[in-house]
Amino acid sequence: MNLNTQIFYDINDFARNTPWLQPVVYGYATYGVVLFAILLLVGWWLARRTNDTAAMAAAVWAPLGVLAAVAINQPIADAINSARPCNELPHIVVMHCNTDGGLPSDHAMMAGAVAAGVWLVNRRLGLVAAVAAIVMAFARVYVAAHYPLDVLVGLVLGAVISVVGYLLARPLLNRLLTMVAQTPLRVLITAAP
């Protein structure tokens, strides 16, 4: 048995032995994306309050980076078409299951992109998002929707896409923010009078 499968079984045994935790983890694995949307909004709010163009450029990019990461993930997952543990392993605790390819994980890709995106805005918020992303990755394995490698690849790839995309888009974003600062929409990008 490979290490990926062994770690999955260890986490699944933990799930089996913690029935009281299952509804909480299932809820987060399924609806935790709302927390990541809130983290993006908090990042925008913090950038707006600091009146820092670099932070606002990162805040504008962060949700775009998430969309880019998820869009890039779909063809990769379809091409790899890796089976999910819930579809191939017998006698496991399954709380959530899909039939599409599991590598890389969409949820982990989104979480990694959000964590990296808000880290570019504010380091403390980025650490909070990173913890939330790691918990999301764990939750997706706990509910048997993914193997550990699926979520690890998703986290890393999502973060890389977010950071590289930001570095490429930053000059354009800075120009757009300079233009917006001269319009009535200025209130969306700065709290300064």
**Residue 48: pLDDT over 80:** yes
The phi and psi torsions of 102 (rounded to 5 degrees) equal -100, -10
DSSP 189: T
pTM: predicted TM-score of the whole model, two decimal places: 0.93
Please report the pLDDT score of residue 51 as a whole number.
82
Please report the pLDDT score of residue 29 as a whole number.
95
- Confidence label for 52 from pLDDT (cuts 50, 70 and 90): confident
Instruction: Tell me what percent of the residues of the chain surpass a pLDDT of 90.
Output: 77
**How is residue 153 written in tokens?**
């690849």
CA distances from 177 to 100, 134, 151, 168, 186 (A): 39, 32, 34, 15, 9
**Residue 60: pLDDT over 90:** yes
Of 174, 170, 180, nearest to 53 by C-alpha is 174
Instruction: Tell me what percent of the residues of the chain surpass a pLDDT of 70.
Output: 99
Span 118-141, average pLDDT: 97
CA distances from 189 to 38, 40, 141, 166, 171 (A): 17, 14, 38, 17, 16
- Give pLDDT tens digits for 142-172: 999 999 999 999 999 999 999 999 999 999 9
Question: What is the Cα–Cα distance from 32 to 164, expressed in whole angstroms?
Answer: 25
- Give pLDDT tens digits for 76-127: 998 998 889 989 988 998 888 888 888 999 999 999 999 999 999 999 999 9
